[in-house]
């Protein structure tokens, strides 16, 4: 809306600064607010706070993401993905709160009672729309969400790669847990270099002439 108190920004849009945040708070002005006006004031503050927190998460992700990709650190990439997700939530929450402020202004608070007689004239000569910055904001939030998903996917891929490398290094050290009984050596003095003759046992230890102990006869 063009009119008194507006100015043109560097991109050519007409802007008007809103002074209803009350930071610092003016007790006299705030005491005259109705309940919807107080709610609107707090929502406006929350909108700015959410936006600042979301940008703060993005600033941290700038360092953790670069460091994680440079060092191929799965943990840093995971942290970056989670922080990007939090940034998406806070930035989207900021716009959602802004819509709440807009709803209170249009539907609950409305215009001053002294202008009720010319409400139709005001509505007919006022155009309300969302500018390019609003669209760019949602597009940017969408890209941040995609970045978060890609970072989490990269974390999973790196973990699987590390697991495969670990399995490849571990395979040569895996020994079979069984023994080939046919390859067992019989127990005789000759196995230890003694020149003494072997003795045969009979009866419970095996057939006559057997030169091995009974409990090792299966190894012949």
**Which pLDDT score, from 0 to 100, does residue 212 have?**
46
- Going by C-alpha positions, the residue among 95, 108, 110 that lies closest to residue 39 is 108
Stretch 71-86: mean pLDDT: 94
**Which pLDDT score, from 0 to 100, does residue 150 have?**
95
- The residue among 149 and 15 whose pLDDT is bigger is 149
**Which pLDDT score, from 0 to 100, does residue 218 have?**
46
Kindly report the pTM of this predicted structure: 0.65
The residues, any chain, with a CB within 8 Å of residue 35's CB and separated by 6 or more, are: none
pLDDT at 95 over 90: yes
Averaged pLDDT score across all residues of the chain: 76
- The residue among 117 and 47 whose pLDDT is bigger is 47
**Which pLDDT score, from 0 to 100, does residue 61 have?**
95
- The residue among 199 and 87 whose pLDDT is bigger is 87
pLDDT at 5 over 70: no
pLDDT band at 219 (very low <50, low <70, confident <90, very high): very low
Stretch 10-38: mean pLDDT: 75
pLDDT, tens digit, 9 for 90 and up, residues 168-178: 776 666 655 55
Q: Rounded to a whole number, what is the distance in angstroms from the first to the last CA of the chain?
A: 104
pLDDT, tens digit, 9 for 90 and up, residues 43-53: 888 999 999 99
Helices (H), 125-215: 132-170
**Which pLDDT score, from 0 to 100, does residue 55 have?**
95
Task: In whole angstroms, give the CA distance from residue 18 to residue 63.
Answer: 34
């Amino acid at each position: 809306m063009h009119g008194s108190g507006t100015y043109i920004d560097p991109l050519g849009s007409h802007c008007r600064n809103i002074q209803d945040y009350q930071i610092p708070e003016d007790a006299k002005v705030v005491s005259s607010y109705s309940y919807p006006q107080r709610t609107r004031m707090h929502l406006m503050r929350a909108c700015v706070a959410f936006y600042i927190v979301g940008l703060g998460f993005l600033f941290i992700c700038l360092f953790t993401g670069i460091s994680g990709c440079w060092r191929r650190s799965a943990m840093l990439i995971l942290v970056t993905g989670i922080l990007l997700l939090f940034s998406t939530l806070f930035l989207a929450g900021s716009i959602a709160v802004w819509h709440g402020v807009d709803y209170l202004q249009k539907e609950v608070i409305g215009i001053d009672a002294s202008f009720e007689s010319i409400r139709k004239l005001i509505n007919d000569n006022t155009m309300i729309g969302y500018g390019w910055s609003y669209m760019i904001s949602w597009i940017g939030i969408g890209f941040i969400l995609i970045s978060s998903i890609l970072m989490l996917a990269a974390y999973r891929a790196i973990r699987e790669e590390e697991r495969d490398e670990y399995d490849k290094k571990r395979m040569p050290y895996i020994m079979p847990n069984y023994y080939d009984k046919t390859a067992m050596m019989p127990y005789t003095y000759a196995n230890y270099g003694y020149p003494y003759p072997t003795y045969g046992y009979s009866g419970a230890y095996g057939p006559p002439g057997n030169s091995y102990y009974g409990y090792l006869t299966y190894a012949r």
